[in-house]
């Protein structure tokens, strides 16, 4: 048994700050896009790549980040990720052309893909000795994700309205330098022998990128157009190739045997659908506040703070205690159903609505559902994995959340546009489009809740095989 790290709670601050910043990076650019389009010459169709370049690099390379974390040492990969993120932020802030901006965002995504799984591995190393401490640490770490997403919208509004859009990237430089200085608080982990499945990483990243590209372009060129069909078929082929590679290479990026870990599959499905419902809600709610209710960038960000407050309170003070009493399954399933109820309530927004009536109560219900489901789903996905595969399990669960978010946002944006959300200035049409997207998001969350309650093993049912898997892994490490 490894010694308990006396500085583990300070180390958790560093890890939670990293999680906060990585997730904030996906949301902070939202309110700045119009100014960036004007200054850098993006066309309307090209503008979405400021967001998607990050998400594709981040989601597509998370598995590789997890593998590198397991092989080379989590602290080393965590540090390298921050160096890459800082470099990408500098490029994005200094960009004078559209393509340089997209490159900078992609580099930021690569940095995030190294940081996220290595941070989770370090957290498990620091707190795995005590289930109660691990639950509390996961609550604090998990709360940093939705807080980062909402803070991104708020700070993006502050910087864009009172400074200029490059500041949304400049902010990462001093924070990154401070984080690098604090990495001495993190436990050092030696490297171990192994190879990196570069071909598998290329296949899964290209497949996800092509799928997102096809979905994003489909409303413009047509869902049944030759280009869209070929792109979706190509994406599917690349993803199939990825699984073939994983089955045949000696040291795969994602050993398929990991899916025998209890609840890994069902928890990742829940995370996919959670991201597919939550991120579109945040996106369309922000658009409703600005384009229908007439809020400015700063006011729109501030309007999302009540959700952040509720998320922080429940994730840090309540969810972990509930999980200890009732287990992960009812919280994940129930949380997704509560999120669905909040989304369905939000879909009733009116062109002449108000924040207090149309947004605040429903958004708090949705945030309650998110706060109940997120941490239990994350812990259920990782709890059965042996320590040497913690980075891989973290990479998988982060990947499923990001992929679900990206694909759903692209698809629901197409739904909203088809229902009138592209008619700027036409408040009834905009509201109808946003409402249609929110209804579909509610359906996704409801499906996730029902599937979880029907399919996922209960904590007691998973305990025995999980204990067997842990004992086997410990025996292998001991040479038994």
Q: Biggest alpha carbon distance in the chain?
A: 69
DSSP 108: H
Residue 43 has a pLDDT of 62
Q: Please report how many Cα atoms fall inside a 13 Å half-sphere around the Cα of residue 412, on the Cβ side.
A: 29
**Which residues of the chain, if any, have pLDDT below 70?**
1-6, 26, 30, 43-48, 128-131, 142-143, 146, 149-150, 189-195, 219, 262, 297, 384-392, 394-395, 422, 424, 459-480
Cβ 111 vs Cβ 82: under 8 Å: yes
pLDDT in tens, 276-290: 998 888 878 877 887
DSSP 3-state of 186: coil
Q: Are 217 and 228 in contact (CB under 8 A)?
A: yes
Q: Report how far residue 43's alpha carbon sits from residue 226's, in angstroms, rounded to the nearest whole number.
A: 23
pTM over 0.95: no
What pLDDT is stored for residue 190 in this prediction? 64
Q: Taking the mean position of all CA atoms in its chain, how far away is CA 457?
A: 24
- Is residue 279 classed as helix, strand or coil in its secondary structure? helix
Instruction: For the chain, report the end-to-end CA distance as a whole number of angstroms.
Output: 17
Joined tokens for residue 66 = 């997890």
Identify the H or E element spanning 24.
Answer: helix 8-27
Alpha helices in 73-166 (DSSP H): 74-94, 98-127, 131-162
pLDDT confidence of residue 443: 94
- pLDDT of res. 384: 65
Q: What span, in angstroms and rounded, lies between the C-alpha atoms of 318 and 67?
A: 33
Q: Judge whether 195 and 250 are in contact, CB under 8 Å.
A: yes
pLDDT at 474: 31
- Torsion sign, CA atoms 171, 312, 445, 399: positive
The DSSP result for 297-331, as a single string, is HHHHHHHTHHHHHHHHHHHHHTHHHHHHHH-HHHH
Helix, strand, coil % over all residues of the chain, rounded to 5: 80, 0, 20
The contacts found for 128-137 with CB under 8 angstroms, 24 or more apart, are 128/387, 129/1, 129/2, 129/4, 132/324, 133/8, 135/320, 135/323, 135/324, 135/379, 136/320, 137/8, 137/12
Please report the sign of the dihedral spanned by the C-alpha atoms of residue 324, residue 317, residue 315, residue 82: negative
Structure tokens at 415: 């739904």
Q: Which residues contact 350 (CB under 8 A, 6 or more apart)?
A: 358, 431
Q: Give the C-alpha separation, 112 to 25, whole Å.
A: 9
At which residue do the structure tokens 């609550």 appear? 139
In the DSSP assignment, the letter for residue 273 is H
- Which structure tokens are listed for 286? 């922000």
The sign one gets for the Cα dihedral 443, 444, 446, 450 is positive
Q: What is the DSSP letter of 254?
A: S
Q: What is the pLDDT of residue 233?
A: 94
Q: What is the DSSP string of 447-463?
A: HHHHHHHHHSPPHHHHH
- pLDDT tens-digit series, residues 128-174: 666 677 777 777 776 677 677 667 777 777 887 788 888 888 988 98
Closest CA to 169 of 104, 119, 115: 104
Pairwise CA distance, residues 460 & 397, whole Å: 22
């Amino acid at each position: 048994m490894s010694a308990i790290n006396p500085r583990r709670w300070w180390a958790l601050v560093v890890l939670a700050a990293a999680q906060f910043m990585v997730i904030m990076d996906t949301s902070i650019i939202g309110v700045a896009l119009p100014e960036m389009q004007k200054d850098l010459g993006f066309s309307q169709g090209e503008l979405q790549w400021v967001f998607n370049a990050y998400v594709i690099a981040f989601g597509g390379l998370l598995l590789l980040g997890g593998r590198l974390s397991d092989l080379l040492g989590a602290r080393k990969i965590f540090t390298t990720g921050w160096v890459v993120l800082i470099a990408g932020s500098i490029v994005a802030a200094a960009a004078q052309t559209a393509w340089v901006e997209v490159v900078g965002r992609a580099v930021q995504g690569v940095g995030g893909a190294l940081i996220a799984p290595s941070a989770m591995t370090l957290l498990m190393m620091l707190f795995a000795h005590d289930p109660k401490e691990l639950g509390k640490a996961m609550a604090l770490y998990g709360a940093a994700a939705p807080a980062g997403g909402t803070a991104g919208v708020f700070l993006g509004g502050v910087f864009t309205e009172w400074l200029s859009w490059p500041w949304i990237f400049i902010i990462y430089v001093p924070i990154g330098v401070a984080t690098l200085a604090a990495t001495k608080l993190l436990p050092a982990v030696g490297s171990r022998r192994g190879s990196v499945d570069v071909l598998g990483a290329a296949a899964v990243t290209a497949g996800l990128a092509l799928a997102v590209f096809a979905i994003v372009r489909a409303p413009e060129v047509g869902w049944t157009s030759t280009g869209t069909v070929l792109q979706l078929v190509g994406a599917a082929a690349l993803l199939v190739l990825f699984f073939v590679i994983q089955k045949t290479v000696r040291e795969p990026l994602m050993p398929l045997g990991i899916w025998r870990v209890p609840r890994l599959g069902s928890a990742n499905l829940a995370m996919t659908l959670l991201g597919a419902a939550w991120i579109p809600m945040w996106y369309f709610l922000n658009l409703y506040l600005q384009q229908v209710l007439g809020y400015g960038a700063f006011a729109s960000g501030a309007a999302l703070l009540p959700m952040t407050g509720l998320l922080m309170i429940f994730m840090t003070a309540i969810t972990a205690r509930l999980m200890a009493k009732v287990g992960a399954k009812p919280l994940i399933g129930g949380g997704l159903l509560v999120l669905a109820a909040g989304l369905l309530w939000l879909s009733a927004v009116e062109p002449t609505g108000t924040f207090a009536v149309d947004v605040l109560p429903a958004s708090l219900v949705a945030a309650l559902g998110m706060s109940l489901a997120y941490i239990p789903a994350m812990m259920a996905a990782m709890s059965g994995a042996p320590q040497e595969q913690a980075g891989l399990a973290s990479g998988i669960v982060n990947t499923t959340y990001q992929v679900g978010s990206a694909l759903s946002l692209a698809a629901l944006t197409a739904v909203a546009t088809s229902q009138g959300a592209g008619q700027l200035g036409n408040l009834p049409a905009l509201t109808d489009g946003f409402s249609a997207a929110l209804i579909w998001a509610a359906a996704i969350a409801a499906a996730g809740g029902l599937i979880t309650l029907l399919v996922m093993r209960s904590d007691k049912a998973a305990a025995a095989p999980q204990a067997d898997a842990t004992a086997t892994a410990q025996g292998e490490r001991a040479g038994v």
